[in-house]
Amino acid sequence: MIFEPRRMHPVAGFLSFLKQLKEIILPFIFLFFVGPGDDFETYYLLGACVVIFLMLVFGILHWYRYTYRIENGELRIEYGVFIRKKRFIPIERIQTIDVSAGIIQRIFGLVKLQVETAGGGMQAEAVLTAIKEEEANQLRELLSRSKNHQEEIETQHTRVTYQITPKELLILASTSGGIGIVISGVLAFLSQFAEYLPFEKLYNTIEKYVSLSILIYIIVLIALFLFIAWFVGILIMTLRYANFTVVKREDELFIARGLIEKKQTTIPLTRIQAIRIGENLIRQPLGYATVYIESAGGSLDKGEDFSTVLFPLVKKSAINDLLQHFVPDYQMQDVENFVPPKAKWRYMFRGMLFFIIFVPAIVMLSYVFSAWGYLGLLLLPIGAILGYSRYKVAGWSIVDDQLTLQFRFFSKVTVLHHKKRIQSMDKKQSFLQRKKELGSVRTFIKSAVTGKGFEVKDLDDSDCWVIWEWYTKRNKNLTEEITVE
């Protein structure tokens, strides 16, 4: 029974060992290559074997000393090899329950269960790295609902199901920012090991069969590089979001995804703090968006800026219907109130200010590369265009008890707030804003570690007061600031 202290599967000890090994493997490799002389390598390898053996012993001891149970409405965990620690988590504080299965867990028919609470910290509050799937399901049922949850779950039926289509998965992968990360990673690799790569030999080999000028060779090489990066990016996103499904049962959402590592997340509807809709620069013209859940809990393991992906890629026109079925308290609203024209130059100046920090580098490039370096000055009009696009997007809307804020940094973001879920609101006005009768509104919700805020800048001061009065009709947790820019 889970009401008695239990240990995880022994595989948990090996997984603990692998986690420690992963953290030190890069320093080990670095020291191996930079170490002085053959004698150092001999002692180094001997010392490395001793350290790895001790880490394996520590992993086994960690598994043996780690126990968990449910008692008096709490998940109780005791752990620690040298210092015994206890952690008691009240069930009512639990916000989300994630179940995942990596390659090693799947080999042994196991899963990993993570429990997150509101403000629990940078990591999940409790992690059971290797337990039986049946036990994980039983724990999830006991932790996510009342004492009668097990009887209810047997009789309830699936109300609504969403599953990503192959077409949407391909578009999601092709338009993801992950491709940019892959390109950056490959460029970083090339910068470190370019001298060891046989570019000249490759060029000579190609030239034997095809007559190419050096310019065409470079263009082909760049095109090939971009294609490989695009393919790798698609592969990564496909592995992450393949088989993505959302199932709504009663008042809970069950989100599952992954091909190699399968993940499952349980989120009660009552724990949802806001809905965030993101449209990056590629997806927005295509009419696609990603929908996130902002819930009262989060960890670094979750990724996605401590948020949970509800719909990875959907047509913007279909968001309302999906929200109505899965999260009926929130509805996509058209933003009707935008920042006034007198705020346009403030947005454009802030856009250029973002790139002004690169001006010293541009001056140095101009000195070294003559006229070519001045091309870097194009960043300033690009910043102005970016600022103008932010100006055109920023706005708000209120319908009944829902506040919609819309803004942009690079991606366009729309946040749907329910009044009772807003923890606090700031109405701010700087000295320069007062001269133009402008102001900013920032909302805060209970999410991640210290909460999360969303701000729309340079609204008309009268609009700020409308939002303020709408919120004050029920809430008193407010602050008003006057700052100097």
Residues 225 and 232 sit within 8 Å (Cβ to Cβ): no
Q: Whole-number mean pLDDT of the chain?
A: 79
Residues 417 and 395 sit within 8 Å (Cβ to Cβ): no
Domain that holds residue 383: 341-390
Indicate if the pLDDT at residue 198 is higher than 80. no
Q: What are 109's two structure tokens?
A: 């028919």
Residues 14 and 64 sit within 8 Å (Cβ to Cβ): no
Q: What is the mean pLDDT of residues 434-451?
A: 85
| Number of domains, the chain | 4
Residues 310 and 293 sit within 8 Å (Cβ to Cβ): yes
Q: What is the mean pLDDT of residues 209-226?
A: 68
Q: What are phi and psi of 444, to 5 degrees?
A: -130, 135
* Helix extents (H) in 117-213: 133-144, 149-155, 166-174, 178-193, 199-209
Q: Identify residue 293 by its one-letter amino acid code.
A: I
- Does residue 86 sit in helix, strand or coil? strand
Whole-number Cα distances in Å, 102 to 64, 144, 239, 301, 395: 22, 23, 12, 13, 42
Q: What are 354's two structure tokens?
A: 């973002």
CA–CA separation, 389 vs 397, rounded Å? Answer: 19
In a domain? residue 35 = yes
Q: Which residue has the higher pLDDT, 407 or 106?
A: 407
CA–CA separation, 131 vs 69, rounded Å? Answer: 13
Q: Are residue 132 and residue 182 in the same domain, yes or no? A: no
Q: Are residue 294 and residue 192 in the same domain, yes or no? A: no
Q: Are residue 345 and residue 325 in the same domain, yes or no? A: no
Q: What is the mean pLDDT of residues 197-216?
A: 59
Q: Are residue 74 and residue 127 in the same domain, yes or no? A: yes
Q: Are residue 359 and residue 457 in the same domain, yes or no? A: no
Q: Are residue 21 and residue 132 in the same domain, yes or no? A: yes
In a domain? residue 3 = no
Give pLDDT tens digits for 267-293: 888 889 999 999 988 889 999 999 999
In a domain? residue 1 = no
Compute the residue count for the chain: 485
Q: Are residue 320 and residue 356 in the same domain, yes or no? A: no
Q: What is the pTM of this model?
A: 0.71
CA–CA separation, 82 vs 84, rounded Å? Answer: 6
Chosen domain end from 192, 223, 241: 241
Q: Are residue 372 and residue 224 in the same domain, yes or no? A: no
- Does residue 377 sit in helix, strand or coil? helix
Q: Are residue 54 and residue 70 in the same domain, yes or no? A: yes
- Does residue 464 sit in helix, strand or coil? helix
| Residue whose entry in the numeric block shows the structure tokens 């009663």 | 250
Q: In what order do the strands lie in the sheet with 438-445?
A: 452-460, 438-445, 422-430, 478-483
| H or E stretch covering 302 | none
Q: What is the mean pLDDT of residues 169-174?
A: 84
| DSSP β-ladder status, 422-430 and 478-483 | parallel
In a domain? residue 252 = yes
Q: Are residue 115 and residue 261 in the same domain, yes or no? A: no
